[in-house]
Amino acid sequence: MATTLLTHLLLPNLRQQNQAWILNVSSMAAFSPIGFKTVYPASKAFIRHWSLGLREELKGSGVSVCVVYPGPMKTNQDVTQRIENQGFRGNIGLLTPEDVAVIALRQMFQNRGTIVLGFTNKMSRFLMAMLPNWFKIPLISRAVEKEID
């Protein structure tokens, strides 16, 4: 809700600029529903679809909308602990928040609408698009359920 409201409030000022950028942060979780973590991927899917739709609406206006899909990041103590508890699997695609920011900003200024960071995350996105829901949702959900336990 905050992303939508802030964009709505700031958009009139952004449209007055010769060039302006909006960079929204989604997640790799936006590419599949996940049991035991249902609200998070749903909210990230909203950011994904809303950003891409807004990008189309603002095409030619001088305002560029981009959406970044970071994978795992050690952002706070709780997240760091969960990533470390996963061992090798938790470190696949791991980037620092600083690296995510640098890469995302660089690609935003190159006018990339969709920014998926790192080879591992790009492969994951490809697989999520290829695998049917009946297969991928239980697979991902079991991993999350184990993490919760």
Residue 33 has pLDDT above 80, yes or no: yes
Q: What distance in Å separates the CA atoms of residue 50 and residue 53, rounded to the nearest whole number?
A: 5
Domain-embedded: residue 123: yes
Domain-embedded: residue 15: no
Domain-embedded: residue 28: yes
Residue 35 has pLDDT above 90, yes or no: yes
Query: Percent of the chain at pLDDT above 90?
Result: 68
> What distance separates the 2 farthest-apart alpha carbons in the chain?
51
Q: What distance in Å separates the CA atoms of residue 38 and residue 56, rounded to the nearest whole number?
A: 28
Domain-embedded: residue 2: no
The residue annotated as part of the active site, out of 19, 40, 42, 146, is 40
Active site residue 40: yes
For the residues 83-98, what does the mean pLDDT come to?
A: 69
Q: What distance in Å separates the CA atoms of residue 35 and residue 16, rounded to the nearest whole number?
A: 43
Measured between its terminal Cα atoms, the distance across the chain in Å is 30
**Domain of 120, in residue numbers:** 21-148
Residue 83 has pLDDT above 70, yes or no: no
Using one digit for the tens of pLDDT, what is the confidence trace for 99-117? 889 999 999 999 999 999 9
Of 1-5, 75-79, 134-138, 140-144, where does mean pLDDT reach its minimum?
A: 75-79
Domain-embedded: residue 54: yes
Domain-embedded: residue 16: no
Q: How confident is the model at residue 144 (pLDDT cuts 50, 70, 90)?
A: confident
Domain-embedded: residue 36: yes
Domains of the chain: total: 1
Q: What distance in Å separates the CA atoms of residue 28 and residue 114, rounded to the nearest whole number?
A: 12
Q: How confident is the model at residue 34 (pLDDT cuts 50, 70, 90)?
A: very high
State residue 76's pLDDT score: 75
For position 140, which CATH number holds? Answer: 3.40.50.720
Domain-embedded: residue 60: yes
Which neighbouring-strand residues pair with 20? Answer: 63
State residue 73's pLDDT score: 76
Listing DSSP states for 8-44 in one string gives: HHHHHHHHTSSSEEEEEE--GGGGS--TT--HHHHHH
